[in-house]
């Protein structure tokens, strides 16, 4: 079983290495063959990750290979519930993106698939690595294929968008690397074993132990936070995302929204919050405000977009705000909600991008105003797009409902902050207030989603949409698969949560522990000043 992990990470790179040697002829039959080979390879990849997910070791599998022992770098892979879930999501979306490529990518296919498989390999590496150096390597490795994918097959402003994407991410990586090296410094100064300098277990234990001086905990946390805030993205570091999504070809938009953003969420959860809970709770008020801004501000921006893809891109940023809110809650429910939204948004946004992509392929325009009455011409696109829009706005019994409700519930019962300190004053705004205000995001979500559906699909058939046809067969099965998943997991979210429940509970418990300790310390401080001992009855204890 242990050999499955290196196989999952290595297989995409192997496939990527084969593609450049395949036929470069630009005719229909060669293209069909290449598409099929890619589809076959990604199905194999999905089977491999599926095998991992259903194996008894889905939560515990590890693989360790000594790589550069003198530097404390190991080729170390491992899983827990979260990693396995995200790995399955990645390979599933890869299959669907390959399916979507059938009708959208029409030139330089060997090169395209080579880059796509390198991209997927490095994303899988990010989710499965258990060595911080390896994690960083994969995190950076994903950049160049993504750059080339956007800038070769993208829309009119593709080169600008691709460069912006790379530079923003690399800017984030600066702080990521600084934090990694800083953490290694403390590991070294406490004389921890040098052979495993970068292993997650060792660094995680060190970070959580509290031996690192509080100031540096804060700095290291901020370093990780900035890096993943670019990736997630969090306002004001989000401006690369609308450009990249809009200019990328449809399959790449699906992957960008579906899994690349999740790298940011995953990193925030695993390194930011889980490793530095004390720093995280100290900064929780501000992060909470950022989450609120993310949800409402970008939701409002989405409302006024005239470009379909841009609208969905901004809605993605808004949904990522819910992940951030769920993380700030710092409890078991919130942690579970964060992972759940990662998956639900992955499926829904991929479907939305594909839905828009099918229209763009035919009308060559992303302008909402040029579309109208598509429902009459293309009923299948209409029904699936409507379903996904409803899922996106959080309709009960569809997948997002469970995630966003959990997130809001988790944040509402959270004790993570009771006021927002601003220098000498502190605003009496607690997380419950933030949560309450953030529900506005759901309303906004309903507004922009439904309005988009109305403008594109209803009314008279516009000139641009006269010749529109329904989805092609490949788009039908891709959208169909997504629709089935959205409905099934909406009815029975336990199918999904059972995969990662134990992992998120473990993390959530650590968070709650930190909050309880904080409150107890506060209580002791107050008791020191108070002549009576009965005060404790009236103070909130936190953590129930």
Partner 1 sequence: MMLEAISNSLIQTDVGQFIYNQNLAFLAPELVISLTLLMTFALSLAKTQVDQAKSWGIALLGSVVALISIVMHYQLFYTGQASASQSVMFGMFEADLLSVVARFILTLGFILILHLSKRFVETRLPSQTGEFYTLLLTAFLGALLLCGANDMIMAFVALETLGISSYILTGYLRNNLKSTEASLKYLVYGGCSSAVLLFGLALIYGLAGGSTSFSVLPQALSQASDLGAWASLAIVMILAGIGFKVSAAPFHTWTPDVYEGSPTPITAFLSVISKLAAFVFAIRLLTPFAGVGNENVALLIGLLAVLSMIVGNVAALKQTNIKRLLGYSTIAQAGYMLVGLAALTQNSLGALLFYLATYIFMNTGAFASAMIGDELLASEQISAYSGLIKAKPWCVFAFSIFLLGLAGIPITAGFFAKFFLFQSVVLSDLGNLGVIIIALLASTVSLYYYLNIIKVMVIGEPSEQVQRLIGEGKDSTWNLSKTLTLATVICLIFTLGLGIFGQSGLLISEFAMSDHGATVTQNLR
Q: Give the interface with partner 1 as residue ranges (CB under 8 A).
A: 20, 68-71, 133, 136-138, 140-141, 143-144, 147-148, 151-152, 159, 163, 166-167, 170-171, 173-175, 177-178, 181-182, 184-185, 188-189
Q: How far is the CB of 66 from partner 1 (least distance, A)?
A: 10
| Interatomic CA distance for residues 52 and 50, integer angstroms | 5
> What is the per-residue DSSP string for 226-274?
HHHHHHTT-TTS-THHHHHHHHS-HHHHHHIIIIIHHHHHHHIIIIIIH
| Interatomic CA distance for residues 115 and 437, integer angstroms | 42
Which residue, 60 or 188, has its beta carbon nearer to partner 1? 188
Query: How many CA atoms within 13 Å lie on the side-chain side of 468?
Result: 33
| Interatomic CA distance for residues 349 and 355, integer angstroms | 10
Which residue, 168 or 297, has its beta carbon nearer to partner 1? 168
Q: How far is the CB of 73 from partner 1 (least distance, A)?
A: 9
Which residue, 163 or 293, has its beta carbon nearer to partner 1? 163
Sole residue written with tokens 């936190």: 542
Residues 6+ apart with CB under 8 A from 226: 172, 175, 176, 237
Q: How far is the CB of 275 from partner 1 (least distance, A)?
A: 18
Terminal alpha carbon distance of the chain: 40
Residue 383 · residue 477 · CB < 8 Å? no
Which residue, 177 or 476, has its beta carbon nearer to partner 1? 177
Residue 88 · residue 4 · CB < 8 Å? no
Q: How far is the CB of 141 from partner 1 (least distance, A)?
A: 5
Which residue, 159 or 307, has its beta carbon nearer to partner 1? 159
Which residue, 179 or 416, has its beta carbon nearer to partner 1? 179
Which residue, 180 or 338, has its beta carbon nearer to partner 1? 180
Q: How far is the CB of 145 from partner 1 (least distance, A)?
A: 11
Which residue, 69 or 236, has its beta carbon nearer to partner 1? 69
Cα angle for residues 458, 462, 467 (degrees, 5° grid): 105
> What is the per-residue DSSP string for 57-109?
TTTT-EEEEEEEGGGTEEEEEE--HHHHHHHHHHHHHHHHHHHHHHHH--S-H
Residue 298 · residue 234 · CB < 8 Å? no
């Amino acid at each position: 079983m242990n050999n499955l992990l290196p196989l999952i990470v290595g297989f995409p790179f192997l496939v990527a290495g084969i593609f450049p040697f395949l036929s470069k002829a630009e005719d229909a039959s060669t293209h069909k063959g290449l598409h099929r080979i890619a589809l076959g390879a990604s199905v194999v990849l999905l089977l491999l990750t599926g095998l991992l997910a259903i194996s008894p070791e889905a939560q515990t599998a590890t693989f360790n290979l000594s790589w550069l022992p003198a530097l404390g770098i190991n080729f170390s892979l491992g899983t827990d519930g979260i990693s396995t879930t995200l790995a399955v999501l990645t390979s599933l979306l890869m299959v669907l993106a390959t399916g979507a490529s059938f009708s959208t990518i029409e030139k330089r296919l060997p090169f395209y698939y080579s880059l796509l498989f390198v991209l997927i390999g490095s994303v899988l590496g990010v989710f499965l690595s258990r060595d911080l150096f390896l994690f960083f390597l994969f995190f950076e490795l994903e950049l160049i294929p993504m750059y080339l994918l956007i800038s070769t097959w993208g829309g009119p402003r593709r080169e600008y968008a691709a460069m912006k994407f790379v530079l923003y991410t690399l800017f984030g990586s600066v702080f990521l690397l600084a934090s990694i090296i800083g953490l290694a410094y403390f590991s070294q100064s406490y004389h921890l074993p040098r052979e495993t300098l970068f292993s997650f277990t060792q660094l995680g234990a060190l970070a959580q132990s509290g031996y690192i001086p509080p100031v540096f905990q804060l700095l290291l946390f901020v370093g990780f936070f900035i890096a993943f805030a670019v990736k997630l993205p969090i306002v004001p570091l989000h401006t690369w995302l609308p450009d990249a999504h809009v200019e990328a070809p449809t399959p790449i938009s699906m992957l960008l929204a579906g899994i690349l953003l999740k790298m940011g969420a995953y990193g925030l959860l695993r390194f930011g919050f889980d490793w530095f809970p004390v720093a995280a709770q100290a900064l929780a008020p501000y992060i909470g405000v950022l989450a609120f801004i993310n949800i409402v501000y970008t939701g409002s921006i989405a409302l006024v977009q005239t470009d379909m893809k841009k609208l969905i891109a901004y809605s993605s940023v808004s949904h990522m705000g819910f992940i951030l809110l769920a993380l700030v809650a710092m409890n078991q429910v919130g942690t579970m909600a964060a992972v759940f939204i990662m998956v639900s948004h992955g499926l829904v946004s991929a479907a939305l991008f594909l839905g828009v992509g099918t229209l763009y392929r035919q009308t060559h325009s992303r302008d909402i105003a040029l579309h109208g009455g598509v429902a009459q011409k293309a009923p299948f696109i209409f029904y699936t797009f409507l379903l996904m829009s409803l899922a996106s706005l959080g309709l009960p019994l569809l997948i997002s409902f469970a995630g966003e409700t959990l997130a809001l519930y988790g944040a509402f019962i959270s004790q993570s902050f009771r006021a927002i300190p601003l220098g000498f004053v502190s605003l009496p705004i607690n997380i419950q207030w933030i949560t309450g205000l953030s529900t506005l995001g759901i309303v906004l979500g309903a507004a922009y989603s439904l309005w988009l559906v109305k403008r594109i699909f209803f009314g008279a058939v516009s000139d641009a949409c006269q010749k529109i046809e329904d989805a092609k067969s490949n788009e039908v099965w891709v959208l169909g698969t997504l629709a089935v998943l959205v409905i099934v997991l909406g009815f029975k979210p336990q199918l999904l949560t059972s995969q990662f429940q134990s992992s998120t509970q473990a993390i959530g418990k650590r968070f709650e522990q930190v909050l309880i300790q904080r409150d107890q310390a506060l209580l002791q401080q107050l008791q020191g000043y108070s002549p009576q001992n009965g005060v404790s009855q009236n103070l909130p204890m936190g953590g129930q």
